Amino acid sequence: MKTAVIVDSVRTGLAKSHRGGFNITRADDMLAHIINNLMERNSNLPGEAVEDVIMGCGNPEGPMGHNIGRNAAVLSNLPITVGGTTVNRYCSSGLQTISMAASQVMAGCYDTVIAGGVEQISMLSGKQNMEGFVNEKLAEQSPGIYHPMGITAETVAKRYEVSRESQDEYALESQKRTANAQELGLYDDEIVPMETKMLLINKETGDSKEVDYTVDKDECNRPDTTLEGLSSLKPVFDPENGSVTAGNSSQLSDGASVTLVMSEEKALELGLKP
């Protein structure tokens, strides 16, 4: 059995959905951009050596539909002969692709796979095709299968007795860690800056305009967060008895990431360090 290794991983910055730098940037364009950067960083790897591109996406429809894994591969500088596929395991979609890539390498199917994930909430939110979305028999048999993540979080918090205070404290610690990591430049090597267009909308007049923008860092953290501020927020999904708020939940964001998974033998042959 071959040994699978991770050679490199790059990503975009995470932009706020709707109000952030990627609010009109297509998901396949984001992926193509970072695939190209990944290949440039590992210039010993010829494009024709890439045997598959596996991309995860939680909502693979609209601008993220039509097999976005293959679309991204074709949009990138990889040869047209490189295949691509798309995986959906909702929030675990991207991690699932890396697991699949590693398994294929270990099984001897491939030596080189680009795996990753993307989500573009800004361009899809409110536009999903809900026609026939719910199977009535399934909803009756397992109603939780259609629960959104917020309700799932409330269920988990109650089941495992995770208090509101614990959630807020952890959220604050997460904000502090992120701010510290940004200040120390710990994300700089993995984030690929991307020049794009952002749509600005005037809330008062409704007027909009596109402006040039570069996403070169994560936009979603709030370094000035306080425990007092977090504790003052009202629960979103269960207003009466809930504990999940906008402050202790992950923010909606747009972004993409790719990882180069190879057999150890092939990586060393090409002079690439796992």
For residue range 200-233, list pLDDT tens digits in order.
999 999 999 999 999 999 999 999 999 999 999 9
Cα distance between residue 85 and residue 74, in whole Å: 12
For residue range 112-166, list pLDDT tens digits in order.
999 999 999 999 877 788 889 999 999 999 999 999 999 999 999 999 999 999 9
Quick check: 26 pLDDT over 90?
Answer: yes
Q: Which of 29, 98, 93 is nearest to 58 (CA)?
A: 93
For residue range 166-207, list pLDDT tens digits in order.
999 999 999 999 999 999 999 999 999 999 999 999 999 999
Tell me what pLDDT residue 86 has: 98
Buried b (16+ CB within 10 A) or exposed e, 155-165: eebeeeeeebe
The pTM of the full predicted model, rounded to 2 decimals, is 0.95
- What are the start-end ranges of the E strands in the chain? 4-11, 15-16, 52-56, 83-87, 112-119, 194-201, 208-215, 253-263
The listed CATH number (3.30.470.20, 3.30.1120.130, 3.40.1010.10, 3.40.47.10) that belongs to domain 1-125+253-274: 3.40.47.10
- Which single residue is written with the structure tokens 């020049």? 195
Tell me what pLDDT residue 130 has: 82
